Structures are given as C-alpha cells and as structure tokens.
Amino acid sequence: MVAVVGLLAGCSTIGYYNQAAQGHLALMASARPIADWLADPATPDELRGRLLRAREIRRFAAEALALPDNGSYTAYADLQRPAAVWNVFATPELSLALKTWCYPVLGCAGYRGYFDRADADAMAAELQGQGFDVNVAPVPAYSTLGWFNDPLLNTFIYTPEVELARLVFHELSHQVVYARDDTSFNESFATAVEREGVRRWLAAHGDDRQRAAWVAYSQRRADFLALLLAHRRRLGEIFASGATVDEKRAAKAAVFADLRREYRLLRDGRWGGFAGYDRFFERRLGSAHLAAVGAYNDWVPAFEALLAASGGDLPTFYGRVRELGALDKPTRTAALQKLAPQLAQAR
C-alpha cells in the first residue's frame, strides 16, 4: 500500500512513507513481551519495577475504564532514542490555521511525524523557507488505532507513575473512536479520557502524596494552558484585523514578549519557582506552537460535559462519542459547542 500511494503521489511522498513504514516496523520488531523482560536476569531492577506497574495500569485500563483489552502495552521496546517520533506542526506566519497533511486510511492531520529527528528538522527547514512558522515537537508515544499492538517504550516508561498511567489511557482511547480529518476532536477526547482515568486510578491505587502531586500538577497545567490559550486568542484577533502586514508582525512579536513575561510572573509567583515549563520557552516561539496546543485541548470541556451527562458511565460515554465521530465535521462541531456553550465564544 505504501509503495502504491508513493507512486501515485510523487517522489517526496515515497520518501516520507518509506521512513514511516521502516520506522514503525523497526519499533515493533524491538518489542518483547513484558513477561520476557521480567524473566530475563539482565533486566535492570528499576525497569522491572516499572514494567510490573505498567502491567497493573494496563489491566486497570481494561477493567475499570472499559478501554480496549488487547495486546497494546503488553510488550516493551527500548528505542535507544528520547522520542518515539517528532511531529512537525506548521502555520502561515500570520495565521493559526495548522497546515494539514493527508494519509491513506487515516485521513488528514495537522502535523507530520518522523522517526528521525534529522528528517523532522529537514522538513521544518523546508517549511520555514516557504514562510511558515514551525514547531518540531518530540512525542513519547503514538497510537496505531488498534491496527498494531502498540508497545510500552523507553521514551515514557521511566516517567512518574501517574504520568505513565495518563499516557497509556490517552493512547488507548484513540482505539475507541477516531474521526477522520479532525485532530482537535480526537486529541481532546483522548485528553478527557486520560484525566478521568487518572482520577479513578489515584482513587483506587494512589496515596496521599500522589494525589497531592497530581492536584498540583493539574493546577499548573491548567494555568499554563490558560496562559497559552489567552495569547492564542490575542493572536487570532490580530490576524483577523485590518492591520497591515508590518503592523501584524509587530503586534505578534508583542504578544510573545508578553507571554514570556507573564509566564515568568506565574512561575516565580503562584508556582513558587516551579520551572518545569521553562523548556517550552527556550526556543523561538511562533504561531505553530500556540495552534498545536489548542489541538489537544479545545474540546475537553465539551467531552467532560458529555461524560457528566452520561452519569459518569464510561461505556455510555464512549457510545455517545462514537455517535459524534460518525457525524460530518460541521454537525459534530455544532454538537460539541452545545455541550460547552462557552467554547463557542472563545473560539
């Protein structure tokens, strides 16, 4: 299928699909069942403990969250690199509209993934040469939507327990429902599931320290997202205005200067010096960084409202989300706005 698509679409597409196929097959070939790692005396004790906990999280996902009970996250692979893939996001210089790429079977998405950082950087440079703002983001895991048994990876196995649970719940939720050509719908749904999943995991298996840490993490994350989304709205207003190109560029620069300043105030004040988000600001920021943030969070309040309307019953919730996923995109968007009317005003 990859070869046929490549021949139809041109040489550049052949190269992209080849790296995608080879990268994924190499990842799958590196995976071994958790039981094999646990039986291997060469497995480090720390990894052994992480895998045991991951197995409990995987069982909880199926039994308590009604997420797919299959071979995903029952094997482990060490990729010998810090990310599973690097996603390239791009927007025009004076726009928040993500450039989309379309793929067979999966439809269109607002990013392009690469298994090699150099390939991602090369694409980023090409897009920047065309005048796009670009964000190259390392991604610890990705979902094959149930087509393959996605393994646990070294890129996230050593994260704190709650973060590991969050990621597994998020990626498994992509196997529940997937709407073609609607990144915001898919990612916001997965984010809503991960949040509810972590809440239930901590209620069943967490201790007071973990619960307090999660509350603090969630508050900081909410603060950070609110900060980014507020400045994204400012950018949107500037780009939609009748100002000249030079005026828009100047206003855009001022927005990012304000973003950095307000972040420092938040970090050194409300957060008491917590610097966990500093890395985000260590690079040159552009529209693509704020547009990408929205893709993962825009519709979370709508999905949380739908979960509440489902009485907190996850199978009922999933059924209603599948119904939304089957709608055409304009109808789906209108339904989501009805679930959380405040979003219609903010978008």
Query: Are 21 and 2 spatial neighbours (Cβ–Cβ below 8 Å)?
Result: yes
6-10, 41-45, 337-341: lowest mean pLDDT where?
6-10
Average pLDDT over residues 25-52: 97
Average pLDDT over residues 18-44: 96
Number of neighbouring beta carbons within 10 Å of residue 253: 10
Return d(Cα 345, Cα 22) in angstroms, integer.
44
pLDDT at 181: 85
Structural element, H or E, at residue 283: none
pLDDT at 342: 62
Query: Are 175 and 145 spatial neighbours (Cβ–Cβ below 8 Å)?
Result: yes
> For 177-189, what is each residue's pLDDT tens digit?
999 888 889 999 9
Average pLDDT over residues 72-78: 98
Which amino acid is residue 158, in one-letter code? Answer: Y
Q: φ and ψ at 252, to 5 degrees? A: -60, -45
Query: Are 73 and 151 spatial neighbours (Cβ–Cβ below 8 Å)?
Result: yes
Q: Is residue 341 over pLDDT 80?
A: no
This prediction's pTM: 0.89
Q: Is residue 9 over pLDDT 50?
A: no
Average of per-residue pLDDT values in the chain: 92
pLDDT at 294: 67
Alpha helix (H) ranges present in the chain? Answer: 2-9, 11-30, 34-39, 45-65, 117-129, 154-157, 161-173, 183-205, 208-240, 245-268, 287-295, 300-309, 314-325, 329-339, 341-346
pLDDT at 12: 57
> For 100-159, what is each residue's pLDDT tens digit?
998 776 678 889 999 999 999 999 999 999 999 999 999 999 999 999 999 999 999 999
pLDDT at 14: 80
Return d(Cα 63, Cα 184) in angstroms, integer.
27
Which amino acid is residue 136, in one-letter code? Answer: V
25-29, 287-291, 338-342: lowest mean pLDDT where?
338-342
Q: φ and ψ at 75, to 5 degrees? A: -130, 165
Rg (alpha carbons) of the chain, rounded to whole number: 21
pLDDT over 70, % of the chain: 94
Q: Is residue 347 over pLDDT 60?
A: no
Q: Is residue 250 over pLDDT 60?
A: yes
Q: Please report how many Cα atoms fall inside a 13 Å half-sphere around the Cα of residue 43, on the Cβ side.
A: 21
Average pLDDT over residues 313-333: 97
